[in-house]
């Protein structure tokens, strides 16, 4: 398969930069939000937050959030 035809899978994790783009929050507030989501889900500080966990916590529709991750 040529490089130009590679299919890039959708991401399943969300970063602080993604949260900043989606919510308009500053970096520190975005990191704090991700930390609260981790705590609610019983995750450690270094574990990833998935898009579905983020959407469940914030109440945002998953399809709209995924459109920001492309």
What was the pLDDT predicted at 10?
Answer: 78
Burial 19-46 (b: 16+ CB within 10 A, else e): bbebeeeeeeebeebbeebbeeeebeee
Per-residue pLDDT of the chain (70 residues; tens, 9 = 90+): 556 666 666 789 999 999 999 999 999 999 999 999 999 999 999 999 999 999 999 999 999 999 888 7
C-alpha dist (Å) from residue 48 to 2, 6, 51, 62: 31, 25, 10, 17
What was the pLDDT predicted at 69?
Answer: 86
What was the pLDDT predicted at 4?
Answer: 62
What was the pLDDT predicted at 11?
Answer: 85
């Amino acid at each position: 398969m040529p490089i130009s035809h590679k299919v890039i899978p959708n991401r399943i994790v969300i970063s602080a930069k993604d949260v900043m783009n989606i919510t308009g929050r500053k970096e520190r507030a975005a990191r704090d939000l991700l930390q609260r989501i981790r705590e609610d889900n019983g995750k450690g500080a270094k574990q990833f937050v998935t898009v579905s966990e983020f959407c469940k916590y914030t109440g945002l529709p998953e399809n709209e959030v995924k459109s920001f991750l492309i």
